[in-house]
Structure 1
């Protein structure tokens, strides 16, 4: 490969939390295609993370698997240590890790609500806090919300409460990073064809949701990964924003 054809972001390093499957895995592959070395973070899916890393390295890319509870600051500090040791630093952090339990607000199990808050809110805080002090100048922090903060679908109340918090946190973080040349944005996907989204839905429900956007289809993990790659690399003038990647649904 000649220098003129080197990937655009060769030498940059990204951490993708929840990188072992669904949207996270697509983000990992998209950033690798741009030349990033990537830390593929996982919590409970080690074989999937290791298989993804093996596939990337076999194709000439650069990646390692890293593990830790996103809500545990010591565990995630160790993840940053691993990436710095392996690749020399961290430039981009993408928080795709999250959990979702659907239930009407009137009957939601409050233990489920606490679990979602721990991963989706505290986890985003922990990883963003570490990123704010450890990623290099010119870097980017990309958090994840959901288009349901706008569409307000029933049974999503607990989940949307956690993602509304993420949308509130991120522009404040962007302003607190003044002078460091680090952007902070949020991606809010619409209905996307992932195992998490499809689980428990019948064909009629899936078809109805697919028909809702003007583009009349479900999003793909690759669609969402394109939005992340934009914010991670060329979108240096986009900061403190929520990018709704939903085909025009809302």
Structure 2
């Protein structure tokens, strides 16, 4: 299971104050937190692609990586000001944050802001009500850069540890909530990347078996362990939380899935 920290960056402010500064602090933080995670940045091009062919694929790649990440980190430093004086972060970062809020969840999201360009309190309320950003201050005149770097790294380390703890606790709760039918589904598909939707039943036996299957799948979707996907066809795929749930189940009962599989009819 991939264990990545996805970094949504912006280049509207100097890189040594934001993108590179945060990137380096993130790498130190993951090492300090012993997260066994790799840090990857959004694969957006650093300059305008001019609408060349392939740009839509970049967007889908970004969303796919966000869906699969363990932790999402966004640089919400203000990069624009409206005619009325309202500050706004980079629009690409906001799009990625919105997608992450739905697919990753606020509990595994970390926000960072360089308050040299505006305080976090100026962010929209619907962001602040979920997560307050880690604030730091870096500008071309900063003379204590190393100290600021250490402070940001420490704050990110604490945030990563908190996200990890939430993920572990959530996985344990999900594993404990599984009934016999959902455990059967987990045992059957725990190694699969894609689960087909069941075709309409042809016999009463298929109908009853299919109903149990559908109800179990529905429970896993409601738990956030599975999501509906349209690739390669309409079906289901495990979420990151779902994969963590499976690992938690294996820790609790190491041979359970193996035993369940052995009793399944071929």
Q: TM-score scaled by structure 1?
A: 0.44
TM-score, normalised relative to structure 2: 0.42
Structure whose alpha-carbon radius of gyration is higher:
2
